[in-house]
């Protein structure tokens, strides 16, 4: 058994080592890069850059939040998202950067605010971007339908006019046996379910409605939200080909 004093010393050493590494500072090209103990979605540290300017100091995120957004293909939403997040803070937003020009006395607060806004913007954008399960499921579904029904009979990522004259984008439409069957990939996320539900109801109200099939990875994952997908029939992606043939028959 380890004596309490030895354990305490060991733990203290570990804690002090971790604390010492929470913040890192690097001087690069006359500016300071400060790594803070907050992580962007990609696992890198929220990093602040401090530069001297004529009126004092510029505290910025050096465009790192923009880069996070750009990396996930959502650069266009950076400015709008950043402005929304920064609204209640004393920070500025340019095309690619979050920053604040402050006096030396205001440095601590500026570091905290710019870091917080930068992290929130990156987190918000990446959360939306990574909600791509529907895209993956849709691709798998479309590959399956093309194999089963043949490419000429499958229209992928196509649009269909509903009874309300709203155009709905669906995963695919299969033309088979003289009629259309709409297949739509649906994930357990609320947006995916409500979008499909609204589309299905509008399409079902057409004078000549297509068959409507919701395809999910797991019915259990949707739970009682499955009822929202009425009036469609629901299949699991992993079900046998026969089920898909019967659905479109």
CB of 106 or CB of 139, closer to other proteins: 139
| Closest C-alpha among 174, 111, 119 to residue 141 | 174
CB of 139 to other proteins, least distance (A): 6
CB of 98 to other proteins, least distance (A): 14
Structure tokens at 129: 């971007």
CB of 15 to other proteins, least distance (A): 15
CB of 11 or CB of 135, closer to other proteins: 135
CB of 158 to other proteins, least distance (A): 13
CB of 135 to other proteins, least distance (A): 6
114-148 b/e with 16+ CB inside 10 Å = b? bbbbbbbbbbbbbeebeeeebeebbebbbebbbeb
CB of 44 or CB of 164, closer to other proteins: 44
CB of 146 to other proteins, least distance (A): 9
CB of 22 or CB of 249, closer to other proteins: 22
CB of 49 or CB of 211, closer to other proteins: 49
Cα→Cα distances 90→7, 106, 113, Å: 45, 11, 8
Estimate to the nearest angstrom the gap between the alpha carbon of 186 and the chain centroid.
16
* 237, 140 contact by CB (below 8 A): yes
CB of 66 or CB of 168, closer to other proteins: 66
**Residues in touch with other proteins (CB under 8 A):** 21, 24, 26-31, 33, 35-36, 39-47, 62, 64, 67, 71-73, 126, 130, 132, 135-136, 139, 142-143, 156-157
φ/ψ region of 165 (left if φ > 0, alpha if ψ in -120 to 50, else beta) reads left
């Amino acid at each position: 058994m380890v004596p309490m004093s030895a354990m305490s010393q060991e733990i203290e050493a570990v804690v002090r080592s971790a604390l010492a590494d929470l913040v890192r500072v690097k001087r690069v090209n006359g500016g300071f890069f400060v790594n803070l103990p907050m992580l962007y979605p990609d696992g890198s540290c929220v990093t602040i850059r401090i530069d001297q300017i004529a009126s004092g100091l510029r505290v910025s995120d050096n465009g790192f939040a923009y880069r996070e957004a750009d990396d996930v293909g959502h650069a266009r939403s950076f400015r709008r998202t950043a402005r929304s997040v920064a609204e209640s803070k004393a920070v500025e937003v340019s095309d690619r950067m979050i920053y604040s020009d402050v006096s030396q006395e205001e440095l601590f607060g500026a570091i905290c605010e710019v870091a917080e806004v930068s992290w929130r913007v990156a987190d918000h954008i990446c959360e939306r971007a990574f909600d791509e399960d529907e895209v993956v499921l849709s691709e798998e579904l479309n590959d399956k339908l093309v194999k089963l029904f043949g490419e000429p009979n499958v229209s992928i990522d196509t649009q269909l006019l509903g009874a309300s004259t709203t155009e709905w984008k669906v995963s695919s439409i299969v033309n088979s046996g003289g009629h259309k069957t709409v297949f739509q990939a649906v994930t357990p996320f609320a947006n995916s379910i409500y979008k499909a539900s609204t589309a299905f109801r509008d399409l079902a109200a057409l004078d000549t409605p297509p068959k409507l099939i919701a395809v999910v990875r797991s019915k259990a994952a949707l739970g009682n939200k499955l009822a929202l997908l009425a009036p469609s029939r629901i299949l699991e992606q992993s079900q046998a080909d026969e089920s898909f043939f019967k659905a479109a028959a």
